[in-house]
Amino acid sequence: MRIGIDLGGTKIEVLLLDDAGRECFRKRLPTPQGQYDAILQTIKQLVDEAEYHAGQACSVGLGTPGAISPATGLMKNANSVVLNGKPVQQHLEALLQRPVRIENDANCLALSEATDGAAAGGGCVFGVIVGTGTGAGIVIHGKVLTGANAIAGEWGHNPLPWPQPDELPGKPCYCGKHGCIETWLSGVGFAAEYQLATGTTRASADIVRLATTGDAQAEQLLQAYEERMAKSLAHVINILDPDVIVLGGGMSNIQRLYTNVPQRWGRYVFSDQVNTRLVAPHFGDSSGVRGAAWLGTNHLDKNGY
């Protein structure tokens, strides 16, 4: 039995999986805003409840939008900013009295889908989150690739490849650069393009709905989005050559992407044939917490945790 925790900015979710990947228990609690100790105690409460249902001690994995810095061992880049600069892993391991595996939420998405989801059987899986931001995780033969700097898969903070003249120098990104892929492919970036073109503020999902009803401006912007995603993923294919790319996040709900993007990316991939598959997540919004649960599978200590 294994426990996964999804630590988000507004909610903390626990999931208990058995060895076959079946869901045995799930619960969500609000994230205590700005209260570091209360967040840790909420995680402990959820782990305790899950183990009560399991009737045994379980491995624990934690997914977070942040990552543990290899240089300091402290949390960095978390949207629950109270966690940043804290030894979250050490504190949780002391509180729970066992090892706790922590990974970025995009890594958890990739691991979930590579283990028993839409990318199952893929030796190399690139799991993308295109939502408020744009991130990704990499799974090689069932194991997360974190990288020497804990940034493996951070394609969103590379520049848009093969840019058109009107795409230069690109919009400013919070990271301090201009023209990052995230500024184009995130839901926020897509909505910003619509506002720039029309002067009207709309959510990305509303813009997609307009395109389906024949709105010419929305359709033009959606085609431009597909082209930018195709170029950006072709860049990944040229470097990583994954078997499967799985999309997550709000923009992954645009069904036409799975047909149109692969039709476009062949012009940019350095190969006479592209066998990489682009797929939707089998577990949807549950992939993150499922991936967190699978984190402990190959990381058991001598006590069985």
What's the pLDDT score for residue 286? 87
Inside any domain, residue 111: no
Q: Judge if 19 and 160 occupy the same domain.
A: no
Q: Judge if 167 and 234 occupy the same domain.
A: yes
- Model confidence at 305: pLDDT above 80: no
Q: Kindly report the average pLDDT of the chain as a whole number.
A: 93
Inside any domain, residue 112: no
Give the list of residues 6+ apart from residue 248 with CB closer than 8 angstroms, or none.
106, 109, 113, 127, 128, 129, 130, 131, 281, 287, 288
Q: With CA atoms as reference, report the closest residue to 290 among 188, 139, 91.
A: 139
- Model confidence at 79: pLDDT above 70: no
Give the list of residues 6+ apart from residue 39 with CB closer than 8 angstroms, or none.
7, 12, 31, 32, 80, 82, 83
Q: Judge if 99 and 185 occupy the same domain.
A: no
Inside any domain, residue 7: yes
Q: What are phi and psi of 157, to 5 degrees?
A: -110, 35
Q: Judge if 122 and 268 occupy the same domain.
A: yes
* Burial class of residue 103 (count of CB atoms within 10 Å of its CB; 0-12, 13-18, 19+): buried
Q: Judge if 158 and 65 occupy the same domain.
A: no
Q: Judge if 43 and 126 occupy the same domain.
A: no
- Tens digits of residue pLDDT in 265-298: 999 999 999 999 999 999 988 899 999 999 976 4
Cα separations (Å) of 49 from 40, 41, 74, 268, 287? Answer: 14, 12, 27, 50, 21
Which domain CATH number covers 49?
Answer: 3.30.420.40
Euclidean distance between CA atoms 35 and 38, whole angstroms: 5
Q: Judge if 273 and 170 occupy the same domain.
A: yes
Q: Judge if 176 and 261 occupy the same domain.
A: yes
| DSSP tag of 166 | G
What's the pLDDT score for residue 297? 67
Half-sphere exposure of 139 (CA within 13 A, CB side): 33
Domain count, the chain: 2
Q: Judge if 91 and 155 occupy the same domain.
A: no
State whether residue 222 is helix, strand or coil: helix
Q: Judge if 87 and 173 occupy the same domain.
A: no
For residues 303 and 37, the model is more confident at 37
- Tens digits of residue pLDDT in 242-265: 999 999 999 999 999 999 999 999
Range of the domain at 249: 118-281
Inside any domain, residue 302: no
Q: Average pLDDT, stretch 83-93?
A: 96
C-alpha 6, offset from chain centre: 12
Inside any domain, residue 249: yes
% of the chain beyond a pLDDT of 90: 84
Q: Judge if 19 and 125 occupy the same domain.
A: no
- Tens digits of residue pLDDT in 110-167: 999 999 999 999 999 999 999 888 999 999 999 999 998 888 999 999 999 999 999 9
Inside any domain, residue 305: no
State whether residue 48 is helix, strand or coil: helix
Euclidean distance between CA atoms 140 and 146, whole angstroms: 10
Inside any domain, residue 24: yes
Inside any domain, residue 203: yes
Q: Judge if 141 and 13 occupy the same domain.
A: no
C-alpha 133, offset from chain centre: 9
